[in-house]
């Protein structure tokens, strides 16, 4: 095997076509975060984006997109922004993972949302997690029946709040794939407010992430697009979502709602309407991503699997990285495994968010409140 490392923007037309061909040929790769369009967009904004092109005498066998940071620290493409990564290759491609790292000039590579079971990385999987999905392959009606079976009480409550929202605030209207940049600005403002209220770092305080979102919003081809949805009560937007899709799969990314309407549970109302619109548009699935949100359990009608793990080559950098990352990863896994701990951690972060908001309101307008180290 020959491994050549380039930037995604340096790929030629034939290589881009081959990437798309490989992705379409393997159902496990049907995720927009694995699409070449996402890799090229990331490359335009970040200097550390690379892709290893794997080939033999018969042609290109695979692509491995990744980030190469200082001291040879490797991270998945998009890092904390994405919910899926891995090799885009023929299903049977099995490389020596450490030789791949050597060719990529990496000392270590951590992964936490890798497509589970890829032959190159499976020996290094330390844990495999389910990612809940809404599966529409049998139609929307079959999906909603599964949701009802999962929790008839929850579905009945949400439908009641949906009717109440329309009755008290104005007739409901759902918009699928809005092209309006102002609608996107509204959604991102809600999301920034949510990050701050819940004690998380506001991702949209980083200009490059805002620019990436704008770039993805502008994408609209049959195989890859940004999908902006919005639920209105009358003419007022109340809840929305921005995600990415392939020809058949939409991936959840940035859901948010206006807290003024929180009593109506507009986020869940939006998700039900988004599911129907997605099915009507011909999509087969909405991937909600792994995580501890309880609503995912009763909206799901299937699961995909993603793996966590670590590959390293002997080096001082890898040793230091292990010391710094392993305790955090183990603690995170323990919390995610125990709903009571997850809820307790969420309450602590929300409490911190309330305190921080109160402090910001009391500070002079030119004061700066620093983010806590390690906040997510």
| Cβ-proximal residues to 14 (8 Å cutoff; 6+ apart), any chain | none
| pTM of the predicted structure, to 2 decimals | 0.84
- Segment 112-122 shows an average pLDDT of 97
Residue 300, Cβ density class (10 Å: 0-12 exposed, 13-18 middle, ≥19 buried): buried
Residue 104 near residue 52 (C-beta atoms within 8 A): yes
- Segment 19-41 shows an average pLDDT of 98
Q: Is the pLDDT of residue 373 over 70?
A: no
Tell which residue, 16, 68, 13, has the closest CA to residue 46: 68
**The domains spanning 2-130+306-315 and 138-283 adopt the same CATH topology:** yes
What are the sequence ranges of the domains in the chain? Answer: 2-130+306-315, 138-283
Helix (H, G, I), strand (E, B) or coil at 71: helix
- Identify the bridge partners of residue 135 per DSSP, sorted by sequence position: 285
The CATH architecture assigned to 2-130+306-315 reads 3-Layer(aba) Sandwich (3.40)
pLDDT in the model for residue 293:
79
Q: Is the pLDDT of residue 270 over 50?
A: yes
pLDDT in the model for residue 339:
55
Q: Is the pLDDT of residue 279 over 70?
A: yes
C-alpha–C-alpha distance, residues 192 and 185, integer Å: 10
Phi (first) and psi of residue 67, to 5 degrees? -115, 135
pLDDT in the model for residue 325:
53
At 286-326, the pLDDT tens digits run 999 987 678 899 999 999 999 999 999 875 454 554 555 55
Residue 237 near residue 258 (C-beta atoms within 8 A): yes
269 token code pair: 């109302």
pLDDT in the model for residue 291:
78
Phi (first) and psi of residue 55, to 5 degrees? -145, 165
pLDDT in the model for residue 197:
92
Mean pLDDT score across all residues of the chain? 88
Q: What is the largest CA-CA distance in the chain?
A: 67
At 182-239, the pLDDT tens digits run 999 999 999 999 999 989 999 999 999 999 999 999 999 999 999 999 999 999 999 9
C-alpha–C-alpha distance, residues 20 and 126, integer Å: 29
C-alpha–C-alpha distance, residues 265 and 242, integer Å: 18
Q: Is the pLDDT of residue 74 over 70?
A: yes
The CATH architecture assigned to 138-283 reads 3-Layer(aba) Sandwich (3.40)
């Amino acid at each position: 095997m020959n491994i050549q490392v380039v930037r995604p923007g340096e790929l030629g037309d034939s290589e881009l076509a081959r990437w798309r061909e490989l992705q379409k040929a393997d159902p496990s790769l049907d995720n927009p975060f694995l699409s070449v369009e996402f890799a090229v967009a990331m490359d335009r904004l970040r200097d550390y984006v690379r892709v290893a092109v794997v080939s033999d005498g018969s042609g290109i066998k695979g692509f491995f997109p990744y980030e190469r940071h200082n001291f040879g620290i490797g991270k998945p493409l998009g890092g904390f922004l994405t919910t899926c990564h891995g090799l885009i290759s023929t299903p049977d491609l099995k490389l020596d993972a450490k030789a791949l790292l050597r060719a990529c000039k990496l000392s270590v590579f951590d992964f936490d949302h890798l497509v589970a079971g890829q032959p190159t990385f499976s020996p290094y999987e330390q844990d495999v997690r389910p990612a809940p999905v809404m599966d529409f392959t049998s139609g929307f009606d079959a999906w909603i029946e599964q949701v009802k079976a999962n929790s008839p009480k929850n579905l009945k409550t949400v439908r009641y709040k949906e009717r109440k929202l329309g009755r008290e605030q104005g007739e409901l209207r759902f918009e699928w794939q809005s092209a309006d940049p102002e609608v996107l600005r509204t959604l991102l403002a809600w999301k920034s407010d949510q990050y701050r209220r819940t004690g998380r770092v506001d991702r949209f305080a980083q200009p490059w992430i805002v620019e990436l979102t704008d770039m993805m919003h502008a994408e609209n081809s049959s195989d890859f697009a940004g999908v902006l949805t919005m639920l209105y009560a009358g003419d007022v937007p109340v809840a929305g979502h921005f995600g990415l899709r392939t020809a058949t799969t939409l991936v959840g990314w940035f859901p948010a709602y206006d807290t003024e309407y929180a009593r109506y549970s507009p986020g869940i109302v939006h998700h039900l309407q988004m599911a129907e619109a997605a099915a009507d548009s011909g999509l087969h699935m909405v991937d909600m991503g792994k995580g501890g949100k309880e609503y995912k359990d009763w909206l799901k009608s299937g699961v995909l699997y993603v793996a966590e793990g670590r590959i390293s080559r002997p080096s001082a950098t890898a040793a230091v990285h292990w010391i710094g990352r392993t305790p955090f990863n183990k603690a995170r896994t323990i919390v995610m495994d125990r709903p009571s701990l997850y809820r307790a951690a969420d309450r602590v972060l929300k409490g911190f968010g309330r305190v921080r908001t109160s402090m910001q309101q009391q500070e002079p307008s030119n004061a700066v409140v620093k983010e806590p180290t390690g906040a997510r």
